[in-house]
Chain A
Amino acid sequence: MRDITLGQYFPADSVIHRLDPRVKILSLIAYIVLVFCTFHFTSLAFIAATVLTIILMTKVPLKMYLKSLKVIIIIVIITSILNLFYGTGEPIFQWGIIKITYDGIRNAVFVCVRIICLILLSSVLTFTTSPTDMTDALERLMKPLTVFHVKVHEIAMMMTIALRFVPTLLEETDKIMAAQKARGADMESGDLFARIKALVPVLVPLFVSAFRRAYELATAMECRCYRGGEGRTRMKQLHLTKRDFISIVFTAFVIAGVVLLNIFGHVLIPSFV
């Protein structure tokens, strides 16, 4: 249960960690769009190399990234295989209804690299940004929505609380499971129905304690005069620094690079599509 790495903060001292979370979120969106706007092998290779560079800059062990890739590796394989067989054009290899075309190989490689880049980029954001920084940044970025009466502060506060309690509830689940196992609960065998039924002794106490914690937290917040977002100031103000501007310029260069390679890639390496 503890092996969920996707969406886990990994504290380290790196340039990426110290970037303004708003810049990181917007850059992530830019890079994701960019990953899907690669139309030539050269631009795909270029974006993959950029992702790799960013990963190395985070100082988070590569093992952690591999762990987060492990979760989606099956999806990558399945989509790549599907793409491999559903290509159009002249078949290179044919066996019955199965045929592999040049187009199919190209699509498979593109899909595979794109998904991996996608996961790695999101991992960079979650590994290097603490949950509180993340919600802070989201609150700031969503601020314009207040015009449409969206309760931005409340949403951000709910996200902060939810993220904060994920590890707590996981720990609690472990404890309750152990306690029920000690009373002979059997959670590892039986058919589907039996397994669902076996969850009741875990879920009921878990819900009870979640409600208890919610009440306690609400009381604690009221005791400290929490009354929503209006007029609330923050202890930690987000400021853009020189570092952030450098990273924005870097992103701009990457965008320019991808666009140029998309247009002129076939000039550099004509044999590729």
Chain B
Amino acid sequence: MSLLSVKELSFLYSKGTPFEHKAVDQVSFEIERGDFIGIIGHTGSGKSTLVQMLNGLLKPTSGSITLDGINIWDKPKEIRKIRFKVGLVFQYPEYQLFEETVEKDIAFGPTNMGLNEAEVKDRVIKAAQFVDLKPNLLQKSPFDLSGGEKRRAAIAGVIAMDPDILILDEPCAGLDPLGRDILLTQIYRYHQERGNTVLLVSHSMEDVASVCDKVLVMNHSRLEMYDTCKEVFSQGDRLASMGLRIPQITAIVDSLIEMGFPLSKGTLTVESAVYEITEYLKKEGRL
């Protein structure tokens, strides 16, 4: 049985008014435990609405979300429990920091779960380690941290709840290239070490290609594709028609293929491209 199964999910904004607007339209998919899935789509394609429904912040207009075999809206009073199981990190999460110290802020989630002090402390330290926050920062005010540190502290606040599914909405927006690489590596490591399911909403095809196993493509409120990275990114034309593109390295390899080189479509990383090209050159005796 899959961890999370979504069936014919729809969401209408301002239902029953002239401003009625369908944000998510009849979306169905399944997520297995341990999946690392990228969610891509142009602005306004319904990604954010979709992920807010997955953790019960928005109630779907129709359709169902089943987590571990249980419909999450069966007991509306216990929706908070679902939010602990499906952790959602919003865009620009650093704007939600509020406590006196970083430690207390990270502890907000676990404390709300009703854990005892020792457990909370343990989780805070572990979460801080995952995002590489130095222990001396924990006693500082969150407003004294640098931009990147704030971002990581906010993400730690969700990781500390130890959710079965971690959803990150554009976690790298506004970070410099180095900060982006560090954060992505940390998320990847988190996924590898804990074996948890991670959903990454992103506009950067490179980010998705470098860390995710599968990609879910949203287009005009509908689910357009849901497959492995290789499969999705080998369909450059189809993505282009949705206002998306493929990772740069995939595009380069695609043009090489067009020029007649026998490389494989849907190459996702620079490393694998280099490997394939050198293999080819060796075979040709040019290297």
Q: Chain A residues in contact with chain B, CB under 8 A? A: 61, 175-176, 178-186, 200-201, 204-205, 208-209
Contact = CB atoms under 8 A, between A and B. Distances in A.
Interface in B108-125: 108-109, 112-113
Interface of B: 18, 52, 55, 57, 80, 83-84, 87-90, 93, 95-98, 108-109, 112-113, 143, 157-158, 161
Given A175-B95, A178-B52, 13 more contacts: A178-B90, A179-B96, A181-B83, A182-B57, A182-B87, A182-B89, A183-B96, A184-B112, A186-B112, A205-B95, A205-B97, A208-B98, A209-B95
A176 B91 CA distance: 11
Contacts of A181: 57, 83
A184 B143 contact: no
Q: What are the nearest 9 A-B pairs in CB distance?
A: A184-B112, A204-B98, A179-B96, A183-B109, A182-B88, A179-B90, A201-B98, A205-B98, A178-B57
Given A178-B90, A184-B109, A205 B96 contact: yes
29 contacts: A175-B90, A175-B95, A176-B95, A178-B90, A179-B90, A179-B93, A179-B96, A182-B87, A182-B88, A183-B108, A183-B109, A183-B158, A183-B161, A184-B80, A184-B108, A184-B109, A184-B113, A185-B108, A185-B112, A186-B80, A200-B98, A201-B98, A201-B108, A204-B98, A205-B95, A205-B97, A205-B98, A208-B95, A208-B143
Which residue, A180, A183, A209, has most C-beta atoms of chain B within 10 A? Answer: A183
B148 to A, nearest CB: 17
Nearest to B58: A178
B182 to A, nearest CB: 23
A204 B108 CA distance: 14
A242 to B, nearest CB: 33
Nearest to B143: A208
Nearest to B158: A183
A213 to B, nearest CB: 11
Given A175-B90, A201-B108, A208-B143, A182 B98 contact: no
Contacts of A175: 90, 95
A201 B88 CA distance: 17
B96 A184 contact: no
Contact of A183 (B95, B143, B157): B157
A175 B112 CA distance: 19
Contact of B83 (A176, A182, A200): A182
Contacts of A184: 80, 83-84, 108-109, 112-113, 161
B164 to A, nearest CB: 14
A201 B96 CA distance: 8
A182 B157 CA distance: 10
Which residue of B112, B157, B161 has the most chain A CB atoms within 10 A of its CB atom? Answer: B112
A52 B56 CA distance: 44
Contacts of B158: 182-183
A183 B127 CA distance: 14
Nearest to A180: B96
A138 B269 CA distance: 61
A94 to B, nearest CB: 46
Nearest to A176: B96
B75 to A, nearest CB: 14
Contacts of A183: 83, 96, 108-109, 112, 157-158, 161
A182 B90 contact: yes
A179 B88 CA distance: 8
